[in-house]
Chains A and B, each alone.
Chain A
Amino acid sequence: MWSLAWKNVWRGGGRSLVTAGAVAAVVTLILLMYGFAGGATNGMFQNLTRSTGHLVVRVKGYDRIEEFDQRLLYDLEDLKASVQRTLPDADVEAVLEVPALLAGTSRSRGVVLMGLEPDGHLMQEMVDRYLAEGQRPQPGRWQAALGQALARALRVKIGDEAYAFAPGTDGLGAGAFEVSGLIDLPESNLEARTAVLDLADAQALAAPDAASRIVVFLPDLKTLSQEKRIDEAKAQLTAALPEGYEVLTWREAQPALAAILDLMTPMLLIYAALFFGLAGLLVVNTVYLSLVERIREFGIIIALGADRWKVMRMVTLESLVLVLSGALVGGVLGGALLYRGAQGFSLPGPLAQQYAEFGLPVVMYASVTPTQVVSVFVFAVLTAIASALWPAWLTGRLEPVEAIRHVA
């Protein structure tokens, strides 16, 4: 019956070709959409976790604590060692965030001074990656890398001094920092209120031997689909750490951004359903016209002994052949384009800049999961079946005597 369905579909010639072509286009488009979204999502995941880490260890109830000193991790070295023992393959680094007033010669701004470890990922991510001018702050030299917007606001440039005031803390409380570099962060809001220091200098200023949080980077985590490893690591770490600390995943640390990423899957499914719905209308049209042109033939088939269910199955098979032919072509085409996209692609210039503001990487790598590929073909099969329902129902209602006498 598949063979008969195949022959019947292609006797429709141009009409079947156009319909199968539309299905192929839809499948290609959806695969590309999945691939692009997958690349973007993975890129955002990597970008996000580059600046937040995969896990964060901090004082329990951190968000609800207002006093700076109560938010600090004082037993820093022990804690870091404990984290490292629990997750030996992970990179572990401390961050000290100090709310402060930073002043140039004539202007001042409320800022967050970020004390980062000189050999850590965060120093690379925050400073090296976005360094527009100058160099990263050197340990022990009381240097700072300022966001460009902040430097403009303070009217300071490389080599100038900026004065930091962090009153009410356990450190020196004030200090003069040489502006060593200017950083061009993708998020302009962050750029206007961030200055990066060496961790030891930040500790000397505000919190000796303490940190605001410990950030954990797990190795070889490139895609969102590997997220399960983060949850497993969190469970291990939570069990290993003493009371008084909490372990957050990147998702818990950045719930709003994580929610945006989570929206991607249902949105893609809605788009895919819409596209397939449109293609389905074409399929219904083609299958219906094919039925109208062959009423007499179906009458013969019924007269020869096919029951209603059998002829309905025939119509459904034709719809499946039509849609799956297009889907296969679309799958091959989409697969080839995805393969190309998986080598790396970027959006056109201005668009890439705009999206970079939202944490999207400039170069992305198309990525689809096996589930997504399967879902495209499941959509195709469902479309074929749904499109065949009405024509098949009509065929099943044909009276053989009338159908045989039918003149198209």
Chain B
Amino acid sequence: MEPIVRARQLEKVYRSDGIATPALRGVDLEIYPGEFTAIAGPSGSGKSTLLHLLGGLDRPSAGEVWLEGERVDDKNATWHARLRLWKVGFVFQAYNLIPVLTALENAAFVLELRGVPPAERKKRALDALAELEMQDYAARRPNQLSGGQQQRVAVARALAAEPAVILADEPTANLDSKTGRALIEYMKRLNREKGLTFLFSTHDPRLLEHVRRIVHLEDGRVVGEEVREA
């Protein structure tokens, strides 16, 4: 099977005031369709950087990124925007919903960017909210939702767009452990039932208990990988 996401010798060096700070030092990674993979590592290990590079949010200093068999890292900003719009779903750590939009409008936002007709995007957004058991909160604005609920809306936003892969950057970091575990459970169910490919980062070992594949990252390097039995 072809990997859906592939990174080869991926490097990223941040430069500021002439000081070079390496964030990734030659990462190789392959993610296959339908996988539910966690990238684990302490703060500063390069988890977010890796997800940003894989999702076309940033450019690597060296190495290659491939998505669905197409090379990503050598393309321009407009191409990357199209990639994110059509193939990658993002869930960020700080909810990052648009505050003036309702949960339904937030869930439908990517579809609106794609130019999906209103009726269709509403249906798809409602379906996605229902998958996350958020349909009763569709008319609420982010400030009327708890942190866990907001993050479920963020997952619904990614889900509604039916991307090739959902990249979640520490999606539970701002949630208490119970809510965080619940969110991971929602993501796992979507992975199981809909075959959605998830790649998420976390530094919380308690969330990794039921994850099948875990890639350990430290100081910008892959230092280990666990594949557990289902």
Contact surface of A with B, Cβ cutoff 8 Å: 1, 4, 7-8, 11, 296-297, 300-308, 310, 399-401, 404
Contact = CB atoms under 8 A, between A and B. Distances in A.
Contact of A307 (B57, B78, B88, B99): B78
A307 B96 contact: no
Contact of A401 (B58, B82, B96, B98): B58
A401 B99 CA distance: 19
Interface of B: 52, 55, 57-58, 77-78, 81-86, 88, 90, 92, 96, 98-101, 109-110, 112-114, 157
A7 B100 contact: yes
A302 B90 CA distance: 11
Nearest to B169: A404
Given A401-B52, A401-B58, A306 B81 contact: yes
A247 to B, nearest CB: 63
Nearest to A402: B58
A404 B51 CA distance: 14
A130 B99 CA distance: 70
Contacts of B57: 303, 400-401
The 10 closest A-B CB pairs, nearest first, are A305-B85, A307-B81, A7-B100, A305-B84, A300-B96, A401-B58, A307-B78, A400-B57, A304-B110, A401-B57
18 contacts: A4-B101, A7-B100, A7-B101, A8-B100, A300-B92, A300-B98, A303-B84, A303-B90, A303-B92, A305-B82, A305-B84, A305-B85, A305-B86, A305-B110, A306-B85, A306-B113, A307-B78, A308-B78
Nearest to A404: B92
A397 to B, nearest CB: 10
A300 B113 CA distance: 13
Nearest to B141: A7
Contacts of B112: 1
B100 A304 contact: no
A4 B101 CA distance: 7
Q: Among the interface residues B58, B86, B88, B100, which one has the most CB atoms of the partner chain A within 10 A?
A: B100
A394 to B, nearest CB: 15
A308 B81 contact: yes
A296 B96 CA distance: 8
Nearest to A3: B105
A8 B88 CA distance: 26
Contacts of B58: 399-401
Contacts of A404: 92, 96
A8 B83 CA distance: 27
Nearest to A1: B112
A248 B84 CA distance: 72
B100 A4 contact: yes
A304 B90 contact: yes
Contacts of B90: 303-304
Contacts of A11: 99-100
Contacts of A305: 81-86, 88, 110, 113-114
A300 B83 CA distance: 15
Contacts of A307: 77-78, 81-82
A125 B162 CA distance: 82
Contact of A304 (B52, B99, B101, B113): B113
Contacts of A302: 81
Given A304-B110, A401-B52, A297 B85 contact: no
A111 B114 CA distance: 83
Q: Among the interface residues A305, A308, A400, which one has the most CB atoms of the partner chain B within 10 A?
A: A305
A305 B101 CA distance: 17
Contacts of A296: 96
Contacts of A401: 52, 57-58
A379 to B, nearest CB: 29
Contacts of A1: 112
Contacts of B83: 305
Contacts of A300: 92, 96, 98
B70 to A, nearest CB: 16
A305 B52 CA distance: 13
B58 to A, nearest CB: 5
Contacts of B96: 296, 300, 404
Contacts of B110: 304-305
B161 to A, nearest CB: 8
B178 to A, nearest CB: 26
Nearest to A297: B98
A11 B101 CA distance: 11
